[in-house]
């Protein structure tokens, strides 16, 4: 399994060192940054990760960084830490992808729990993206007619009904269905339905599979 990484952005050297030591003691890899720009310039590997982010930074706030990451499509769970938290700040942090919002001084156990939750969330998201990438390749292998047949199969229509709708023979539809199931690696209509449900909301979904 790929090693999990915890990124720490804090402009206080002593806090960075303390956080780094704590995180390493649990067995996680940690990378620290003194500014938001340092973090943005770092080429992050594809691995389960999360961000421990100080709200108050010298050149830009951690909340600004979170919003910038969201705007650019970067998906990373965040554990915010701050010396002084307010309700509006907390709300903004949660909207920015916060898993936890801790006010200093916080308990080490609370930080570790927040990081653990964030890493679990990112691991799940990575699995989801990998599965969708695999599905995307399989769906892309379908011909336009096979896609049309698939879209009708998952509505519960029989071969005869699909053949009538598409103006072809029942035998031809049966052949198309066989190729669809082989290409998509499924064995039942129920599996086809679940697969299409995951595809329908994706921007890359072919027109015949979009709601």
Total domains present in the chain:
2
* Residue labelled with tokens 């035998």: 171
Q: What is the mean pLDDT of residues 65-85?
A: 87
* Residue labelled with tokens 């799940």: 124
- How much of the chain, in percent, has pLDDT values that exceed 70? 98
Q: Using a CB cutoff of 8 Å and minimum separation of 24, what contacts does 100-103 make?
A: none
Which among 82, 106, 131 is the end of a domain? Answer: 131
Which among 111, 131, 151 is the end of a domain? Answer: 131
User: Between the CA of residue 179 and those of 32, 49, 102, 143, what are the distances in Å?
Assistant: 51, 39, 53, 10
In a domain, 65, yes or no: yes
pLDDT of residue 2: 66
| 111 and 83 belong to one structural domain | yes
pLDDT of 210 over the 60 cut: yes
Q: Helices 144-153 & 189-200, crossing angle to 10 degrees?
A: 110
pLDDT of 129 over the 70 cut: yes
For residue 177, the Cα-to-chain-centroid distance in whole angstroms is 32
CATH code where residue 26 lies: 3.40.50.2300
Give tens-digit pLDDT for 103-122: 888 999 999 999 999 999 99
Q: Which pLDDT band holds residue 63 (cuts at 50, 70, 90)?
A: confident
Give tens-digit pLDDT for 137-182: 999 999 999 999 999 999 999 999 999 999 999 999 999 999 999 9
| 107 and 12 belong to one structural domain | yes
Q: What is the mean pLDDT of residues 34-48?
A: 91
Mean pLDDT across the chain: 91
Cβ-Cβ contacts under 8 Å for 92 (sequence gap 6 or more) = 63
pLDDT of 1 over the 60 cut: no
| 121 and 17 belong to one structural domain | yes
Cα–Cα distance, 190 to 197 (Å, whole number): 11
127's tokens: 């699995």
- How much of the chain, in percent, has pLDDT values that exceed 90? 71
CATH code where residue 166 lies: 1.10.10.10
Which among 75, 100, 131 is the end of a domain? Answer: 131
The closest alpha carbon to 77, from 103, 99, 92, 102, belongs to 99
Q: Which pLDDT band holds residue 192 (cuts at 50, 70, 90)?
A: very high
| 33 and 112 belong to one structural domain | yes
Owning domain of residue 172: 141-209
In a domain, 25, yes or no: yes
Q: What is the mean pLDDT of residues 182-202?
A: 93
Backbone angles phi, psi at 67, to 5 degrees: -70, -35
Q: Which residue has the higher pLDDT, 60 or 47?
A: 47
């Amino acid at each position: 399994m790929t090693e999990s990484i915890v990124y720490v952005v804090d402009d206080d050297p002593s806090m960075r060192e303390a956080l780094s030591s704590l995180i390493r003691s649990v067995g996680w890899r940690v990378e620290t940054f003194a500014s938001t720009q340092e973090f943005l310039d770092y080429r992050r590997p594809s691995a389960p990760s999360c961000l421990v982010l100080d709200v108050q930074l010298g050149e830009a706030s951690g909340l600004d960084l979170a919003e910038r990451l969201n705007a650019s499509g970067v998906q990373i769970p965040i554990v915010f830490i701050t010396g002084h938290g307010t309700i509006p700040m907390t709300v903004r942090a949660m909207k920015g992808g916060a898993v936890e919002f801790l006010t200093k001084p916080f308990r080490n156990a609370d930080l570790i729990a927040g990081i653990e939750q964030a890493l679990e969330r990112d691991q799940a998201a990575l699995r989801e993206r990998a599965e969708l990438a695999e599905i995307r390749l399989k769906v892309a292998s379908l011909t336009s007619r096979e896609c049309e047949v698939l879209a009708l199969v998952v509505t519960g229509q029989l071969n005869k009904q699909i053949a009538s709708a598409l103006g072809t023979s029942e035998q031809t539809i049966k052949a198309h269905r066989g190729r669809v199931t082989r290409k998509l690696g499924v064995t039942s209509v129920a599996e086809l339905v679940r697969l299409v449900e995951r595809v329908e909301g994706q921007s890359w979904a072919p027109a015949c599979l979009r709601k």
